[in-house]
Amino acid sequence: MRALIVGLGSIGRRHARNWASLSLGPLAICRQHHAVQPEPLGVEATEYDDLHQALELEQPEVVLVTNPTSLHVATARAAIDAGAHVLVEKPLGSSLDGVHELLAAAQTGGSVIMVAYNLRFHPGLVRVKALIEACAIGRVLSARAEVGEYLPDWHPWEDYRHSYSGRRDLGGGAVLTFSHELDALCWLLGPPGSVAAMAAQLSSLHIDTEDVAEILVQFERGPLASVHVDYARRTPRRTLELVGETGVLRWDYHQNRLELYTADTRQWHVEEGDPTYTRNQMYRDELRFFAERVRDATPQPRVDGRQGAAVLALGLAALRSAAHGRTIDLQHEDEITRGWLSSFQ
């Protein structure tokens, strides 16, 4: 299976190495901006600096879109128009411009399009979903997701001020960059109904995007969830807590631990994750899953284009709420957006 990776930042390098180590097929890379690399890639790949030339000469079966967020939709559309299947890094884009047309082109052409919300491949979150579906804590009433990490620590080899995460023109900002949490909550709790948020640039970081945000989401089935995201936390944190009518469920990503409290036992049951599990494993599982969907011609992978579009629409609605100081009723958005949101049924 021939692959083309567009963009060679941190996640592009990870995908390139994983693709090679999984022996999925020949690899080419398109780098339109030759940023300094922390070390040699160590993977055999043909290199291009022009996307259309790479698509024409390589004729890839799959394209992995790992360039800045603001370029995702246009890059994915070019790949689909060239007949490729596409894995797009999250978020799907920085606006909804061109998203409907992208998904329509993928459907018409029979292309698999998947958005890389890799947390869905972490065994801890998979276990959380299984427990919720088994009613281990009864009907879920509320949830709290938190994620924070000091932005300059992400990629010590580069100047954070030039990274897409802190640049508005490249689609950065804590809300969209940390949209994993929004995706996870929709995956667990279903379609969101309304959203309210506050977001601001509060730290001394030299960026022009929000670096702290609080988001409140009311889900159609009733649960109320809050999401905290920030670029300022010096010790990384990623946690999820769900409160149900008969118990409480907690997941700590960094500790790789799940805690379950039930009214029947009135005790906490702790499940420790596999101590040998590494962060890269979920990326390998995600890439393997995508490759299998392409081989099987499965049109709806675990995070299909419509769900990726729904999470993007939710994140953008949160930013509008913060900008205008009002709650956004998602069910009164346009018909296309409502259709995307319903994909979490």
Per-residue pLDDT at 302: 63
Bridge partners (DSSP) listed for residue 197: 215
Per-residue pLDDT at 36: 67
Distance CA 215, CA 259 (A): 24
Are 3-119+286-303 and 120-277+307-344 equal in CATH topology? no
| Residue 155 near residue 186 (C-beta atoms within 8 A) | no
Strands 140-148, 237-244: pairing is antiparallel
**Residues of the chain with confidence (pLDDT) below 70:** 34-36, 297-302
Per-residue pLDDT at 168: 94
256: left (phi over 0), alpha (psi -120 to 50) or beta: left
Per-residue pLDDT at 297: 63
| Residue 284 near residue 16 (C-beta atoms within 8 A) | no
Distance CA 329, CA 17 (A): 42
Q: pLDDT per residue over 86-132, tens digit each?
A: 999 999 999 999 999 999 999 999 999 999 999 999 999 999 999 99
Q: What is the DSSP string of 324-339?
A: HTS-EEGGGS-HHHHH
Q: Which fold has domain 3-119+286-303?
A: Rossmann fold (3.40.50)
Single-letter residue type at 49:
D
In the sheet that 257-262 helps form, which strands lie side by side, from edge to edge? 267-272, 257-262, 247-252, 237-244, 140-148, 224-230, 212-219, 192-200, 328-329
| Residue 114 near residue 292 (C-beta atoms within 8 A) | no
All residues at 6 or more sequence positions from 184 whose CB lies less than 8 Å from its CB, including other chains: 117, 119, 120, 125, 145, 240
Percent of all residues in the chain with a pLDDT value above 90, rounded to a whole number: 88
What ranges do the domains of the chain cover? 3-119+286-303, 120-277+307-344
Per-residue pLDDT at 301: 55
CATH, range 120-277+307-344: 3.30.360.10
Q: pLDDT per residue over 201-218, tens digit each?
A: 999 999 999 999 999 999
Per-residue pLDDT at 300: 57
Question: What helix, strand, coil percent values describe the chain, rounded to 5?
Answer: 40, 25, 35
Predicted TM-score (pTM) of the model is 0.95
Per-residue pLDDT at 298: 57
Q: At what angle do helices 180-189 and 305-324 cross, to 10 degrees?
A: 110
Per-residue pLDDT at 48: 95
